[in-house]
Structures are given as structure tokens and as C-alpha cells.
Amino acid sequence: MAAALALIVSIISLIIALLAYAKRGGSIEDMKRKVEDLGVTMETLRNKTADILENLEKKIRGEEKKPECPPDTTGPAQQDPQGQTPLQVN
């Protein structure tokens, strides 16, 4: 019973808030535009925060060196450990 009453009160307060917003001169389209602008602003803020945290991590941990790749051993004229060229099978 209390949950149903709380739901009814919250719906009524939402309607009153929308009516007050409309009376003040706002429109639903204006509100939608503001929400979309806020989404773009939040995305920009998220990207900047990620960049700042990445730079902070690099300063704290230091630049980690990438492991060097071993030399390419798939070439046709590779030699075995004794220095001999292997036979090619046709």
C-alpha cells in the first residue's frame, strides 16, 4: 500500500515539475536538446579524463619498453645452427 502511494505521489510531482517547466517558457524539444548536449559534454569530459589518467599513469610507472620482436626466421635461405643451408623439398 505504501509503495503504491509513493508511486502515485512521484508521478504527480513529475507532472507538476513538467507543468512548471512549460510555464516558465521551456519546451519538451528544448529539454531534449539540453539532454543531448549534456551527453556530448559528458563524452568529451570522459575522453579528457581518460587522457589525463593515461598521462598520470605514464608519469608514475614510467614508459614501459615494448619487447623487441625476434628476427624473422621464415625466410627461404635460413641456416641451421651449424651454419649450413637446409635442403629444400620439392
Per-residue pLDDT at 67: 60
3-state helix, strand, coil in the chain (%, to 5): 65, 0, 35
- Single-letter residue type at 8: I
What's the CA gap between 12 and 18, in Å, rounded? 10
- pTM of the full structure: 0.39
Per-residue pLDDT at 62: 81
Per-residue pLDDT at 52: 94
Per-residue pLDDT at 32: 84
DSSP strand E in 1-90: where? none
Q: How far is CA 75 from CA 56, 60, 78, 79, 80, in A?
A: 42, 42, 6, 10, 12
What pLDDT tens digit does each residue of the chain (90 aa) get?
A: 889 999 999 999 999 998 888 888 777 788 788 888 898 899 999 999 999 999 999 999 886 665 666 666 665 555 555 656 555 555
> Can you give the residue ranges of every domain in the chain?
26-61
